[in-house]
Structure 1
Amino acid sequence: MAMAPVASLPATGTRRCPPPLRAGIGWRQPHYGALLRERPALGFLEVHAENFFGDGGAPLALLREARAHYPVSLHGVGLALGSAAGVDEWHLARLARLVEQIDPLLVSDHACFARVGGADGALHAADLLPLPYHAESLAVLAGNVQRVQDRLRRRLLVENLSAYITLAGSDRDEPAFLVDLARRTGCGLLVDVNNLYVNALNAQRAGHGGDPLAACIAWLDAMPADCVGEIHLAGHSALEDIVIDDHGSRVCEDVWTLYAHAVARFGAVPSLIEWDTGVPELAVLLQEARRADAVLATAPVRHETWPEAA
């Protein structure tokens, strides 16, 4: 049975024309001080929400200071939205409190399984594990997404995974599964084009896929533009027998090609440079963000997805 979208979600097309778009960057600890001192021109900052769940203290004070100068996006890694055990109430309560304190531009998490219940309490995996794409897992995911949106009173964005195994039992492909989720709950989708490329490269290595770029473009072409609320860009590492989504290098040329295709298809949605391991100087992230800016400048503006300039 289809669930009604969250009543408080804004209607599309009602926001007045925004200023020229800029990409954002993931704001990590090595750049806390430099960014607040330099205040470079950026569309927004994105942080991992769980890093700011504490009661006050320096982290929250820093985030409040950043929020005074930039829109902030809260990107979670712990809701475990695809888990039949449900969303952890403590985690959701902390997230709801942070949303109230920061008033973020966007709130997002992943289409993953990570949590199981048991006689001794719930167990949480230290990873984002993939889901099979079938009706039962969709029902679980949709129910948890709806619960989060009802609690936060805002639209949640759900990200596609880089997955290193394929679970049996799927009756649809990933784009159809995610679109079904968006239509059922009113959530948006966070399209990580690096994740798409990593999955396509690994499929090719395993003998299950053809040209990786063509596979990713087909994925993007299967996604309705109105479902997409954000795009992520990152680097990856190619090992001997697997490609790892490690967010530890510059965006590769093929992923830039996919990003240009995504922007042409989806419009100028908020776009983020992620860099989580081997974090370089801030200037390197800003160079990557400027390249994304140039791509965004070629796209039609989608009025409903971008905030006023900070």
Structure 2
Amino acid sequence: MSRLASDRIVGVGLRSPHVQQVLAEQPRVGWLEIHSENYFVTASPARQQLRALASHYPISCHGIGLSLGSADPLDTQHLSQLKQLVDEVDPIAVSDHLSWSSVDGQFFNDLLPLPYTEEALELFCQKVSQVQDYLGRQMLIENPSSYLSFSHSTIPEWEFLHQVQQRTGCGLLLDLNNIYVSGFNHGFDCDKYIAAFDADAVKEIHLAGFTIKQVDGGEIWIDTHSQPVSEPVWQLYQRWVQQHGAVPTLIEWDLDIPPLPVLLTEARKAELIIKQEAKHGQVIT
């Protein structure tokens, strides 16, 4: 992510309803994040559009299909397609999730939580190292949002992720909305979670909105990416920038996708926080 200029620090997630408008209007935005798997087919119209976009904007490749926490071996075809995409686009970052989504080659339409045990840690680290070796570059691992936990977990999630970073040399993609959502669902302190990491290892931040669902007389918070960023998450972000300076920041919006100007307005909010803190002496990293 160090290739971004200081005035291009905030990006948005590129989703299909906005592609033609972004191509035609080339709005002011620092960078674009794609879901890698949507662009695997070399001769597809989507890949052709990506080539055009990459001539105007830095691109980040965010994956959802490596299933790094699964006991299944890595999918060699998936890895090959990812490497071909990465080699062609030369993205500013390649990322995936602290999760799993496959068993015996069958994939689920979700990013599922891991049991936080030493055995799972060793397996996950092996997968991350294999992917980094294959791609010939560092990847970023994103912290999950979750709604249940395993009773036999022995390692706090933040320590598990910290150990993944330390053992593999990967970078961290810190999703502040995921931390806020999971903090409510599991009862942990968001600031304690964030403080567990070496700030220099955090190469990207995600900001998004969530949905509250009523269940059995209580409520659960769900990371839907279907709302504006909540005020408490903005406050988490401002504290991060105050303490550590700005890192490349993404606005995500995946469901109930609004008109592009709404998404860009959220990006401007992040830019404003960065500018305000820069006046107080913080340095953009």
What is the TM-score of this pair, normalised by structure 2? 0.93
> d(CA) in 1 for partners of 2:55 and 2:42?
20
Alignment of 1:1-310 (within 5 A): 18-117=5-104, 122-203=105-186, 209=187, 215-241=189-215, 242-297=220-275, 298=277, 299-302=282-285
- Partner of 1:94, secondary structure, is helix
Residues 187 and 17 of structure 1, relative CA distance in 2, 3 Å threshold: closer
Unaligned runs of 5+ in 2: none
> d(CA) in 2 for partners of 1:16 and 1:61?
24
Contact 1:217/1:261 (CA < 8 Å) preserved in 2?
Answer: no
Contact 1:21/1:293 (CA < 8 Å) preserved in 2?
Answer: no
Contact 2:146/2:185 (CA < 8 Å) preserved in 1?
Answer: no
| Residue number in structure 2 paired with 1:3 | none
> d(CA) in 2 for partners of 1:25 and 1:34?
14
Once the two structures are TM-superposed, the CA of residue 55 in structure 1 deviates from its matched residue by 2.7
Residues 54 and 131 of structure 1, relative CA distance in 2, 3 Å threshold: same
- Partner of 1:140, secondary structure, is helix
> d(CA) in 2 for partners of 1:17 and 1:282?
22
> d(CA) in 1 for partners of 2:148 and 2:232?
23
- Partner of 1:137, secondary structure, is helix
> d(CA) in 1 for partners of 2:243 and 2:60?
23
- Partner of 1:176, secondary structure, is helix
Once the two structures are TM-superposed, the CA of residue 133 in structure 1 deviates from its matched residue by 1.7
Q: How many corresponding residue pairs?
A: 276
Contact 1:21/1:296 (CA < 8 Å) preserved in 2?
Answer: no
- Partner of 1:93, secondary structure, is helix
Name the structure, 1 or 2, with higher relative contact order (CA <8 Å, separation 6+).
1
> d(CA) in 2 for partners of 1:295 and 1:152?
34
Unaligned runs of 5+ in 1: 1-9, 204-208, 303-310
Contact 1:228/1:266 (CA < 8 Å) preserved in 2?
Answer: no
**Aligned amino acid, residue 24 of structure 2:** R
Once the two structures are TM-superposed, the CA of residue 266 in structure 1 deviates from its matched residue by 3.6
- Partner of 2:81, secondary structure, is helix
> d(CA) in 1 for partners of 2:258 and 2:37?
22
> d(CA) in 1 for partners of 2:69 and 2:128?
9
What is the TM-score of this pair, normalised by structure 1? 0.85
Contact 1:132/1:167 (CA < 8 Å) preserved in 2?
Answer: yes
> d(CA) in 2 for partners of 1:239 and 1:147?
38
**Aligned amino acid, residue 52 of structure 2:** E
Q: Which moved more, 1:216-225 or 1:277-286?
A: 216-225
Contact 2:226/2:253 (CA < 8 Å) preserved in 1?
Answer: yes
Residues 150 and 219 of structure 1, relative CA distance in 2, 3 Å threshold: same
> d(CA) in 2 for partners of 1:252 and 1:74?
25
**Aligned amino acid, residue 234 of structure 1:** A
> d(CA) in 2 for partners of 1:17 and 1:232?
16
- Partner of 1:179, secondary structure, is helix
> d(CA) in 2 for partners of 1:201 and 1:65?
41
Percent identity over the alignment is 44
Contact 1:191/1:232 (CA < 8 Å) preserved in 2?
Answer: yes
Once the two structures are TM-superposed, the CA of residue 17 in structure 1 deviates from its matched residue by 9.6
